[in-house]
A and B are shown apart, each in its own frame.
Chain A
């Protein structure tokens, strides 16, 4: 059972030496209790205390890092089943899978794409994370050559996929120092793969059909000294994946099965329905997802869904209504009215900030509905706008009487003019066009 912070504190040296990185032993104890720190960080703990604390304070799902350098990423250390219970911390890496049988030019093209391609959404650059190379040829040399080819093009996190220890050893001579993920150890080849993982300090995927076998494999691997493990649930259908992945997550976070406390690996490329597999992997606890290179169409939905599921749900959906400032707006600055749905607010605010034109945002209370919904539902009305202008004393802030409203609120423009006496200007429907709009319309 999990210990409380004070129980943990009693076992600590109480020196407040700060060597663990925390200011006091008590704050370190609180982190341990929350599964946010490693007991090994304390240099003064005796073995007895360590063994008591180790089992109950280490994060219920191990943090594992793939790759080195700028593009390396960490996975694991998740603590909840539902994102709304807290949040999901480490988004899954999505890696493009290539066979070692394709031409060097193709290898180079796909690697270059993963290295360079990104989409910008809501202020974040979304990228794929690396390359998985599969030993489809069965040839040791060809596998090693393909890995070498990828390495030549980019320093990306890699997954090396082969069941053959000789091929794996050959590939690791090219990239073993860059923390590639080794896939995959099964009950047949576990010994050889553990030796390779230990020798190169690489994380290792273990694969089995049942969670009992997986737990046995992780026990054997840790006994052999390999701690950074991932679980391949070997799902034969989407149902098998969701059932096993949910079971692993639940058993791990409740510490009912510490041997399952490792991130989950999903090869969506071997599933009949790859796109559906990716959706399932993102929503249901996969931490590394391997897929064939995605079309531009499928790329955006995958990356957008990942961004959605891994945003922090603790941020409120509604903004407080009021008059918000972008920059230092003066008496002649434009006033833009919109709804208090937080996504609308942040999207518009982002685009307004990038225009560098100081302005006011008049946020009216539509109970968190978007513009489109608020108009359709009658939540956004001329009376609401009139009352908001009065309530937030907008007339004291600016000398003009011009209000820019969202494009989707255009049906209300006449009624707002009548009710408020302000001149209404209908802005664009899409916040992305607000910069151009202000440039062309406001300056007139």
Chain B
């Protein structure tokens, strides 16, 4: 008899390109095209649909990083180039996400060092990059322009634009052809509003990734989960202002009480389990880039995504 499953979707997630190979004017060994979905996550039967990408998060001043990750990764964390290299060759990430935490120091003004860090990381890994700029509006403009310039031609993803501060990052992205992470606080309407703001100043839709903000498992994740589902739902219903791929960074999981106060002997296991559970659940809700900070989370997510794309493993590198 055969049941026909019809959700009545009419929209498509906009495709966004991350990274540029030599052929596209960059130096990356591969690039990714994410988005393109026409139905719910993992229900896609179109060949070439990719699994969610796994980004490993590093930083250039580890004093701001979780002690769990610092202890696990060891000395490599003091050299962002080597850490990026490890993320690529040892941990097996798809993307490297560099947080310029050095800019968080009081009265930071060494903008040139930011450019040098980005260049070093680009030279030590040939994976596409995500760069997180400053947290301080006063230096935003200089930091983002320097990042954009240092990665010119590499089709990077720059973060993070918010409703109150998106101009400098968008300007840097447009000047050097990078994409932008647009973050809103767990609210589908605010996500849409920010996308419209970015559109109005000239950023193309295929240069935006939505970050609805990921609350940790047990501490607000249910809201993030629904925000992601609603964004995907609206996109499939035809709302082009929400039809961008979603990024999820469950970084809060490393600071929740259950992880922070765990017995040292099993603290890594617990950190990984919380990061993994949050990331995988977010992927079922529609996130297409899952960021992690613990190296051991990567193979777990990789296996799960493999089993979720068992029929069509194509499309990893575009």
- With both beta carbons as reference points, the residue of chain B lying nearest to A295 in the complex is identified as B269
Question: What 0/1 pattern do residues 152 to 163 of B give for CB contact below 8 A with A?
Answer: 000000000010
**CB neighbors of A among B290-311 (8 A):** 300, 303-304, 307-311
Question: What 0/1 pattern do residues 369 to 409 of A give for CB contact below 8 A with B?
Answer: 11011001110000000000000000000000000000000
Are B229's CB and A83's CB within 8 A?
A: yes
Instruction: Kindly state whether residue B276 has any CB partner on chain A within 8 Å.
Output: yes
Instruction: Kindly state whether residue A343 has any CB partner on chain B within 8 Å.
Output: yes
Instruction: Kindly state whether residue A177 has any CB partner on chain B within 8 Å.
Output: no
Nearest Cβ distance between residue A243 and chain B, in whole angstroms? Answer: 6
Are A370's CB and B215's CB within 8 A?
A: yes
Instruction: Kindly state whether residue B280 has any CB partner on chain A within 8 Å.
Output: yes
Are A240's CB and B310's CB within 8 A?
A: yes
Are B284's CB and A280's CB within 8 A?
A: yes
Are A430's CB and B257's CB within 8 A?
A: yes
Instruction: Kindly state whether residue A30 has any CB partner on chain B within 8 Å.
Output: no
- With both beta carbons as reference points, the residue of chain A lying nearest to B45 in the complex is identified as A243
Cβ–Cβ < 8 Å partners of A256 in chain B: 3-4
Are A121's CB and B218's CB within 8 A?
A: yes
Instruction: Kindly state whether residue B18 has any CB partner on chain A within 8 Å.
Output: no
In the bound complex, CA of A121 to CA of B216 (Å)? 14
Whether A377 contacts B310 in the complex (CB less than 8 A), given A298-B273, A341-B220, A343-B219, comes out as no
- With both beta carbons as reference points, the residue of chain B lying nearest to A283 in the complex is identified as B284
Whether A242 contacts B43 in the complex (CB less than 8 A), given A257-B3, A308-B225, A313-B226, comes out as yes
Whether A304 contacts B218 in the complex (CB less than 8 A), given A240-B310, A243-B42, A297-B270, comes out as yes
Instruction: Kindly state whether residue A239 has any CB partner on chain B within 8 Å.
Output: yes
Q: What band does the interface of chain A fall in when counting residues whose beta carbon is under 8 Å from B? A: 35 or more
**CB neighbors of A among B250-287 (8 A):** 252, 255, 257-258, 266, 269-270, 273-274, 276-277, 280-281, 284-285
- With both beta carbons as reference points, the residue of chain B lying nearest to A247 in the complex is identified as B5
Are A307's CB and B186's CB within 8 A?
A: no
Are A432's CB and B310's CB within 8 A?
A: no
**CB neighbors of A among B55-114 (8 A):** none
Instruction: Kindly state whether residue A305 has any CB partner on chain B within 8 Å.
Output: yes
In the bound complex, CA of A298 to CA of B1 (Å)? 41
The 6 closest A-B pairs by CB, nearest first: A276-B304, A237-B310, A308-B222, A238-B307, A301-B277, A304-B218
- Starting from the known contacts A304-B277, A378-B164, 12 additional A-B residue pairs (CB-CB under 8 Å) come to A84-B230, A212-B1, A238-B307, A247-B5, A276-B280, A282-B281, A283-B285, A284-B284, A308-B217, A341-B220, A370-B220, A372-B255
Q: List 19 A-B contacts (CB under 8 A).
A: A83-B229, A211-B3, A237-B307, A237-B308, A238-B304, A238-B308, A243-B42, A250-B5, A275-B300, A279-B280, A297-B266, A297-B269, A297-B270, A304-B218, A308-B218, A308-B221, A311-B222, A368-B185, A378-B164
**Chain A residues close to B by CB (< 8 Å):** 82-84, 121-122, 211-212, 215, 236-240, 242-243, 246-247, 250-251, 256-257, 260, 271-273, 275-276, 279-280, 282-284, 296-298, 300-302, 304-305, 307-309, 311, 313, 317, 341, 343, 367-370, 372-373, 376-378, 430, 432
